[in-house]
Structure 1
Amino acid sequence: MSEDTFRSVEIERTSMGQYVVRNARGGSMSMGTGEDGSFTPVELLLAAIGGCTAVDVDLITSRRAEPTRFAVEVTGDKIRDEAGGNRMRNLKVEFTVTFPAGDDGDRAREALPRSLQQSHDRLCTVSRTVESGTPISIVEAGSSRED
């Protein structure tokens, strides 16, 4: 893959059920099982879905006016389906955005529905990947014995 398309994160175990996630730019965050304040993998999935569209919408609408409020709530139900596997359903991304009064705010309000649709239909890599059901390969790179 080319350098322009490749994305990656590294996950390192810090203790039982606790991990640190790192990106190539040096950012890090904690992830865990939900026993403490760390984000769970499902919460990170919800954040990625909402965050991807939030970035798209913010970049489009903020060119017209700076929002006075910009909040996104992402919800869903974690279920065990008929095949006995866990998955999410009823995923919903809800935006609450307020722009100031005036012509610039009016232009931003007018652009909001279109930017939400554009993000959903073609811009947001995360939600488009989830909706298309892209296969995931799980491979073992190898294990070793510490002597």
Structure 2
Amino acid sequence: MKIELNRLNDGFHLEAVNEDGRTVHIDASPDIGGTNQGMRPMQLLLSALGGCSSIDVINILKKQKQPLKDVKVTITGEREKDVVPSVFVEAHLHFRIYGDVDEEKARKAIDLGVDKYCSVAKTMSPKATITHSFEIIR
């Protein structure tokens, strides 16, 4: 795995490019001189947590032959206060599962996806407590 990071202005606006040419913009907050042209690095980490676990949940529900129409996830995180570096100490994922999905199968898929298979969750979990919840929208 390789990421190339390129600076796009004289401030903090960066572009990360993967081996396939896919890009993500990163920037700092305006209060330290950023220009709000990308996500902050810690926002990207929460996004990665949601993306990683969602891929696993979708894959598990497909294997269970569940009629999944869509998945939306809200990820929240709390960081240490008044400490540098300020790592996440808590993260919560709330999954909204769309379709006529069996509740127990959804619960199992989310438990496995977040707690067992998500590499980002495993990376964060030595310092952060990661919890999850879900609802099914038929």
Normalising to structure 2: TM-score of the pair?
0.75
Corresponding residue for 2:104? Answer: 110
1:13 alignment counterpart: 7
Please state how far the C-alpha of 1:77 moved relative to its aligned partner. 2.1
State yes or no: 1:78 paired with 2:83. no
Is 2:119 the counterpart of 1:125?
yes
Find the residue that maps to 1:132 and give its secondary structure.
Answer: coil
Residues 31-50 of structure 1 correspond to what in structure 2 (within 5 A)? 31-34=26-29, 35-50=35-50
* Aligned counterpart, 1:141: none
| CA distance in 2: counterparts of 1:85 and 1:21, whole angstroms | 22
Look up the equivalent residue of 1:44 and give its one-letter code: L
Structure 2 CA distance for aligned equivalents of residues 47 and 129 of structure 1: 14
Secondary structure (helix, strand or coil) at the match of 1:68 reads strand
Distance 1:9 1:77 in 2: 27
Unpaired runs of 5+ residues, structure 2, are 30-34, 128-138
Aligned-residue Cα RMSD (Å) equals 2.0
Structure-1 separation of matches of 2:62 and 2:40 = 31
Give me the identity figure in percent.
22
Q: Does 1:95 align with 2:95?
A: yes
Counterpart-to-counterpart distance in 2, 1:84 and 1:129: 19
1:37, CA displacement in angstroms?
4.2
Q: Is the partner of 2:21 in helix, strand or coil?
A: coil
In the TM superposition, residue 84 of structure 1 has moved relative to its aligned partner by 4.5
Relative to its length, the structure with more strand (as a share) is 2
Aligned partner of 1:31: which letter? I
Contact 1:80/1:87, CA 8 A, preserved across alignment: no
- 1:33 match: secondary structure: coil
Unaligned runs of 5+ in 1: 1-6, 134-147
Number of aligned residues: 120
Structure 2 CA distance for aligned equivalents of residues 57 and 13 of structure 1: 35
